[in-house]
């Protein structure tokens, strides 16, 4: 894939305007996300009201801790011509909602990836924006005077100290403040990580050490999800300053060295916008405008330096960067399966082959007993390996990379690892993952473990165990064997063992997986108690969509007809057909209720990519394929703005659920948007 670099393409804009303030329900349901390329982030609602324990202005990824909420929010009060205005909003545990900030909001937009608010404060207009410095745990929040009289601001930070996915502490914090001239160091409590702050302004900018304890704050989304959902916060004081016509006031926050706070705020914002323009400038021409450009920027938010010391050591030894992929915001870390499925869309479709190679080498380094990690726990260096399909998706990712780059060096380097993976699968490896010598098909399953991508588990209950021979596992296994045969020949090695194994899988698959009663494929054969599972699920599309389809050609139309009739929605594919006894139309309620629906009907956006691949093999109607993406295009203006959610309810109105930003949802949408591009 090649592209001509445009030095300064226009950044896509996504925004809303209101003449007299928005409906509160509209702005509290839309969320923004800012990331820093190290796993850290800032996030909240357009309304300025935190609705999740994961919301906060500064959530860096810290060594040995992982992502930690350090600055939950700012109390922002503006005084103009004797009138006082609140810019923030709050929802309290007693049901009271402070909507002042939303009432004065007149516009919100994403300038590239930077969120920007504009407020009407009587005769004055004030613009607010924020960003995180790429590659650093540093935040800049800026207030720019747009028009009208001088605005006097009081900015009150509320420091906290909690891992972003852990229970909320019961009771207020006890902040500690150290003043060093214009510099302020703040901790939520004695043993908490320190935040360093500096205010950039043209006026005097005192920090007033007058503490304030919040009312009990309510996080409505956490309440709906059955988690801890209230928090009391304490602020140790506030900054005061005035901003006049044309002036910019900025608060910088970091866990890095003091000197990083000395940057000029205007230049810092300008450099981030330039970085984003360069990302688009290196992308293919068709990805530099419109929805593909928005998705190309969204893709950048998932690619990270995992900041694991062990990664740094081996990466330096081979002159390679360590890179990985955050599976989803807010709560996922880097997952092997999601990374390999996402690699093409996130990196190759955005012309970032260096990052693609770094990701492949990073996961190669962590192969154990023929498996890549299922995921890396937050703040830890070793992966967890209970996955049957992530390793097989690694072959797919290598294939997509090689087609794009023709990187023979990487192929030579990874081929021994790939050959070892195949050998481990042939002999059998962890979690009873191994080839059945009777038919050459790959089987998996161990009590208490969820090994396929349908991996919901709660209180020891594996919702969809799918033990046995799963349809997508064997489609991926066949694809991997055929790829190995091609690569062996390319490297001057003997391809015969791989071709022989692949031919056996092909024969056994088409004999065992075809379900004549339904006109499609069994989801699992030889499952629990030796039974075949006729549940209609989307897993069968991979038998057609992959580079080397394992399903006989004459059966493709029948499978796609069933999938289209039972599973296709405007935002992706259902995980189970309506009418099945276990089908759940909505993903809501507490954790157990949600996990019971997670793969039992809930729609997954990422599946639309492979469905389009499969349909185009049967009917190369590009316009019809592009029409399948209209729902996801509309979705960019809802939930996580500029992003694509993890999942959706299975029936209208297909409410977005789960993560507000999911790597494989974005990656696959971008990939097929480009694939169905019409000039």
92-112 mean pLDDT: 96
32-45 mean pLDDT: 98
- Per-residue pLDDT, 607: 98
CA 227 to centroid of chain Cα atoms: 21
As to burial, measured by CB atoms within 10 angstroms (0-12 exposed, 13-18 middle, 19+ buried), residue 112 is buried
Beta strands in 305-363, from DSSP E residues, in sequence order: 324-325, 328-329
257-280 mean pLDDT: 97
656-677 mean pLDDT: 98
- Per-residue pLDDT, 1: 43
CA distances from 540 to 215, 408, 574 (A): 52, 32, 13
- Distance (Å, whole) CA 314 – CA 631: 43
**What confidence tens digit (pLDDT) does each residue in 533-556 have?**
999 999 999 999 999 999 999 999
pLDDT above 90: residue 3: no
Long-range contacts at 494-501 (CB < 8 A, ≥ 24 apart): 498/422, 501/422, 501/426, 501/435, 501/440
All CATH 2.70.98 domain ranges of the chain, comma separated, are 13-277
Q: CA angle 595-167-642, nearest 5°? A: 65
- Distance (Å, whole) CA 585 – CA 475: 28
181-196 mean pLDDT: 92
Question: Percent of the chain, pLDDT > 70?
Answer: 99
**What confidence tens digit (pLDDT) does each residue in 481-526 have?**
999 999 999 999 999 999 999 999 999 999 999 999 999 999 999 9
**Confidence at 309, pLDDT banded by 50, 70, 90:** confident
130-150 mean pLDDT: 98
Q: Which residues contact 219 (CB under 8 A, 6 or more apart)?
A: 50, 51, 52, 53, 55, 91, 229, 230, 231
**Confidence at 597, pLDDT banded by 50, 70, 90:** very high
- Per-residue pLDDT, 182: 79
**What confidence tens digit (pLDDT) does each residue in 331-380 have?**
999 999 999 999 999 999 999 999 999 999 999 999 999 999 999 999 88
Average pLDDT value over all residues in the chain = 95
- Distance (Å, whole) CA 508 – CA 500: 13
Question: Do 78 and 121 touch, CB atoms closer than 8 A?
Answer: yes
585-599 mean pLDDT: 94
Instruction: Considering only CA atoms, give the Rg of the chain.
Output: 26
50-78 mean pLDDT: 97
If you write DSSP's letter for every residue of 414-468 in order, what string do you get? HHHHHHHHHHHHHH--GGG-EE-TTT--EEB--TT---SS---EETTEES----B
Q: CA angle 338-57-151, nearest 5°? A: 145
- Distance (Å, whole) CA 424 – CA 486: 20
pLDDT above 90: residue 381: no
Question: Do 226 and 240 touch, CB atoms closer than 8 A?
Answer: no
- Distance (Å, whole) CA 360 – CA 301: 18
Q: Which residue from 340, 584, 656, 183 is spatially nearest to 592, judged by alpha carbons?
A: 584
CA distances from 398 to 189, 213, 500 (A): 47, 53, 22
**What confidence tens digit (pLDDT) does each residue in 618-631 have?**
999 999 999 999 99
205-215 mean pLDDT: 92
Q: What fold is seen in the domain 13-277?
A: Beta-galactosidase; Chain A, domain 5 (2.70.98)
Backbone angles phi, psi at 273, to 5 degrees: -65, -40
Residues constituting the chain: 679
**Confidence at 7, pLDDT banded by 50, 70, 90:** low
99-113 mean pLDDT: 97
- Per-residue pLDDT, 39: 96
Q: Which of 44-48, 242-246, 629-633 has the weakest average pLDDT? A: 242-246
């Amino acid at each position: 894939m090649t592209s001509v670099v445009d030095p300064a393409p226009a950044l896509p804009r996504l925004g809303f305007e209101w003449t007299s303030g928005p409906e509160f329900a509209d702005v509290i349901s839309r969320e923004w996300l800012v990331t820093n390329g190290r796993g850290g982030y800032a996030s909240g609602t357009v309304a300025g009201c935190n609705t999740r324990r994961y919301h906060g202005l500064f959530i860096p990824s810290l060594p040995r801790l992982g992502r930690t909420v350090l600055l939950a929010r700012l109390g922002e009060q503006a005084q103009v011509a004797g009138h006082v205005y609140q810019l923030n909003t709050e929802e309290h545990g007693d049901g009271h909602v402070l909507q002042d900030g939303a009432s004065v909001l007149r516009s919100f937009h994403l300038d590239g990836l930077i969120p920007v608010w504009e407020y009407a404060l009587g005769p004055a207009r004030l613009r607010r924006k924020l960003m995180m410095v790429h590659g650093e745990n540093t935040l800049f929040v800026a207030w720019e005077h747009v028009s009208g009289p001088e605005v006097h601001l009081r900015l009150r930070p509320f420091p906290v100290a909690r891992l972003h996915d852990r229970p909320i502490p019961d009771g207020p914090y006890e902040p500690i403040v150290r003043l060093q001239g214009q510099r302020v160091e703040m901790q939520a409590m004695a043993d908490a990580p320190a935040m360093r702050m500096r205010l950039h302004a043209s006026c005097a900018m005192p920090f007033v050490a007058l503490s304030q304890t919040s009312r009990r704050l309510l996080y409505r989304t956490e309440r709906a999800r059955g988690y801890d959902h209230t928090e009391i916060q304490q602020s140790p004081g506030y900054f005061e300053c005035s901003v006049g016509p044309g002036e910019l006031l900025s608060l910088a926050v970091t866990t890095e060295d003091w000197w990083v706070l000395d940057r000029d705020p205007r230049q810092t914002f300008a450099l981030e916008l330039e970085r984003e323009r360069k990302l688009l400038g290196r992308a293919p021409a068709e990805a530099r405008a419109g929805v593909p450009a928005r998705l190309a920027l969204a893709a950048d938010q998932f690619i990270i330096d995992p900041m694991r010391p062990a990664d740094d050591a081996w990466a330096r030894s081979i002159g390679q960067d360590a890179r990985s992929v955050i599976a989803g915001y807010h709560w996922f870390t880097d997952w092997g399966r999601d990374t390999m499925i996402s690699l093409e869309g996130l990196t190759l479709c955005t012309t970032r082959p260096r990052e693609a190679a770094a990701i492949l080498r990073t996961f190669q380094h962590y192969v154990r007993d023929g498996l890549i990690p299922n995921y890396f726990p937050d703040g830890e260096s070793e992966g967890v390996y209970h996955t049957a399909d992530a390793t097989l998706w690694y072959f797919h990712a290598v294939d997509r990379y090689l087609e794009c780059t023709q990187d023979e060096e990487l192929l030579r380097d990874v081929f021994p690892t790939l050959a070892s993976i195949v050998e481990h699968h042939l002999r059998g490896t962890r979690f009873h993952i191994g080839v059945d010598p009777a038919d050459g098909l790959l089987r998996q399953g161990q009590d208490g473990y969820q090994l396929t991508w349908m991996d919901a588990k709660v209180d020891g209950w594996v919702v969809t165990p799918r033990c046995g021979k799963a349809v997508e596992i064997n489609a991926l296994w066949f694809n991997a064997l055929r790829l190995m045969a091609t690569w062996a020949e390319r490297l001057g090695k003997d391809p015969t063992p791989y071709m022989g194994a692949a031919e056996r899988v092909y024969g056994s698959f088409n004999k065992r997986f075809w379900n004549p009663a339904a006109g499609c494929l069994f989801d699992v054969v030889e499952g629990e108690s030796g039974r075949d599972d006729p549940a209609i699920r989307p897993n069968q599309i991979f038998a057609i969509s992959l580079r080397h389809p394992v399903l006989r050609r004459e059966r493709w139309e029948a499978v796609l007809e069933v999938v289209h009739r039972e599973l296709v929605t405007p935002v992706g594919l259902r995980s189970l057909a309506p009418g099945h006894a276990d089908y759940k139309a909505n993903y809501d309620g507490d954790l157990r209720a949600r996990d019971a629906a997670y793969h039992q009907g809930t729609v997954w956006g990422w599946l639309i990519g492979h469905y389009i691949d499969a349909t185009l093999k049967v009917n190369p109607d590009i316009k019809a394929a592009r029409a399948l993406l209209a729902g996801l295009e509309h979705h960019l203006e809802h939930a996580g703005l500029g992003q694509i959610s993890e999942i959706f309810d299975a029936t209208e109105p297909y409410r977005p659920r789960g993560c507000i930003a999911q790597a494989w949802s974005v990656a696959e949408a971008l990939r097929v948007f480009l694939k169905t591009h019409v000039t």
